[in-house]
Amino acid sequence: MQDLPVYLAMTGFALMGVGAIVKPVLVTKQFGIFDLTPAGRNEVRAVYGGFGVFMALALLAALQQPGLRDGVLFAVGAALGGMAAGRLVSAAIDRTIDRAPLGYLALEVIVAFLLLAVA
Protein backbone atom coordinates (compact mmCIF):
# COMPACT_ATOMS: atom_id res chain seq x y z
CA MET A 1 0.00 0.00 0.00
CA GLN A 2 2.95 2.35 0.63
CA ASP A 3 3.89 2.08 -3.05
CA LEU A 4 0.43 2.74 -4.52
CA PRO A 5 0.78 6.57 -4.56
CA VAL A 6 4.20 6.18 -6.17
CA TYR A 7 2.82 3.93 -8.91
CA LEU A 8 -0.12 6.30 -9.50
CA ALA A 9 2.15 9.35 -9.73
CA MET A 10 4.63 7.49 -11.92
CA THR A 11 1.89 6.43 -14.33
CA GLY A 12 0.41 9.92 -14.45
CA PHE A 13 3.76 11.56 -15.15
CA ALA A 14 4.60 8.97 -17.82
CA LEU A 15 1.27 9.50 -19.59
CA MET A 16 1.59 13.27 -19.39
CA GLY A 17 5.16 13.17 -20.63
CA VAL A 18 4.69 10.84 -23.55
CA GLY A 19 1.44 12.54 -24.55
CA ALA A 20 3.05 15.97 -24.52
CA ILE A 21 5.95 14.80 -26.65
CA VAL A 22 3.71 13.07 -29.21
CA LYS A 23 0.84 15.60 -29.32
CA PRO A 24 1.80 18.88 -27.60
CA VAL A 25 -1.35 20.68 -28.73
CA LEU A 26 -3.47 18.22 -26.70
CA VAL A 27 -1.85 19.70 -23.60
CA THR A 28 -2.45 23.33 -24.50
CA LYS A 29 -5.92 22.78 -25.96
CA GLN A 30 -7.17 22.09 -22.42
CA PHE A 31 -6.28 25.68 -21.59
CA GLY A 32 -7.69 27.32 -24.71
CA ILE A 33 -4.46 27.40 -26.75
CA PHE A 34 -5.24 25.68 -30.04
CA ASP A 35 -2.28 26.59 -32.22
CA LEU A 36 1.41 26.30 -31.40
CA THR A 37 4.46 27.61 -33.19
CA PRO A 38 7.53 25.37 -33.38
CA ALA A 39 8.89 27.23 -30.34
CA GLY A 40 5.61 26.61 -28.51
CA ARG A 41 5.68 22.90 -29.32
CA ASN A 42 9.29 22.78 -28.15
CA GLU A 43 8.30 24.39 -24.84
CA VAL A 44 5.42 21.97 -24.25
CA ARG A 45 7.58 18.99 -25.15
CA ALA A 46 10.27 20.17 -22.74
CA VAL A 47 8.18 21.33 -19.78
CA TYR A 48 5.38 18.77 -19.90
CA GLY A 49 7.05 16.04 -21.94
CA GLY A 50 10.63 15.79 -20.76
CA PHE A 51 9.74 16.78 -17.22
CA GLY A 52 6.95 14.20 -17.05
CA VAL A 53 9.04 11.36 -18.45
CA PHE A 54 11.94 12.09 -16.12
CA MET A 55 9.68 12.46 -13.07
CA ALA A 56 8.30 9.01 -13.91
CA LEU A 57 11.85 7.66 -14.18
CA ALA A 58 12.79 9.26 -10.86
CA LEU A 59 9.78 7.62 -9.21
CA LEU A 60 10.76 4.28 -10.76
CA ALA A 61 14.25 4.73 -9.29
CA ALA A 62 12.66 5.46 -5.91
CA LEU A 63 10.85 2.13 -6.07
CA GLN A 64 13.99 0.24 -7.01
CA GLN A 65 16.53 2.05 -4.81
CA PRO A 66 15.31 2.30 -1.19
CA GLY A 67 18.08 4.76 -0.34
CA LEU A 68 16.66 7.23 -2.87
CA ARG A 69 13.01 6.77 -1.99
CA ASP A 70 12.40 9.49 0.59
CA GLY A 71 14.42 12.12 -1.26
CA VAL A 72 12.77 11.44 -4.60
CA LEU A 73 9.28 11.35 -3.09
CA PHE A 74 9.95 14.61 -1.27
CA ALA A 75 11.32 16.27 -4.42
CA VAL A 76 8.44 15.14 -6.63
CA GLY A 77 5.89 16.05 -3.95
CA ALA A 78 7.51 19.48 -3.60
CA ALA A 79 7.43 19.97 -7.39
CA LEU A 80 3.71 19.16 -7.44
CA GLY A 81 3.16 21.47 -4.48
CA GLY A 82 4.95 24.24 -6.36
CA MET A 83 2.75 23.70 -9.39
CA ALA A 84 -0.35 23.90 -7.20
CA ALA A 85 0.95 27.04 -5.47
CA GLY A 86 1.57 28.64 -8.87
CA ARG A 87 -2.02 27.92 -9.85
CA LEU A 88 -3.27 29.50 -6.62
CA VAL A 89 -1.15 32.62 -7.16
CA SER A 90 -2.43 32.87 -10.73
CA ALA A 91 -6.03 32.45 -9.58
CA ALA A 92 -5.52 35.19 -6.98
CA ILE A 93 -3.98 37.57 -9.51
CA ASP A 94 -6.65 36.87 -12.15
CA ARG A 95 -9.45 36.54 -9.57
CA THR A 96 -10.68 33.44 -11.37
CA ILE A 97 -9.68 29.89 -12.21
CA ASP A 98 -11.11 27.83 -15.04
CA ARG A 99 -12.24 24.22 -14.74
CA ALA A 100 -9.11 22.54 -16.20
CA PRO A 101 -6.61 24.41 -14.01
CA LEU A 102 -8.84 23.82 -10.98
CA GLY A 103 -8.93 20.09 -11.70
CA TYR A 104 -5.16 19.96 -12.06
CA LEU A 105 -4.77 21.99 -8.88
CA ALA A 106 -6.80 19.40 -6.97
CA LEU A 107 -4.84 16.53 -8.53
CA GLU A 108 -1.49 18.17 -7.75
CA VAL A 109 -2.43 18.79 -4.12
CA ILE A 110 -3.72 15.24 -3.62
CA VAL A 111 -0.75 13.51 -5.25
CA ALA A 112 1.74 15.80 -3.49
CA PHE A 113 0.12 15.01 -0.16
CA LEU A 114 0.13 11.27 -0.87
CA LEU A 115 3.79 11.22 -1.93
CA LEU A 116 4.87 13.26 1.08
CA ALA A 117 2.82 11.02 3.37
CA VAL A 118 4.61 7.86 2.18
CA ALA A 119 8.08 9.45 2.09
Residue 28 in contact with residue 34, Cβ under 8 Å?
Answer: yes
Q: What is the pTM of this model?
A: 0.94
Report the distance separating Cα 19 and Cα 82, nearest Å: 22
pLDDT tens-digit map of 91-106: 999 999 999 999 999 9
pLDDT tens-digit map of 39-61: 999 999 999 999 999 999 999 99
Residue 52 in contact with residue 84, Cβ under 8 Å?
Answer: no
> How high is the pLDDT of residue 86?
98
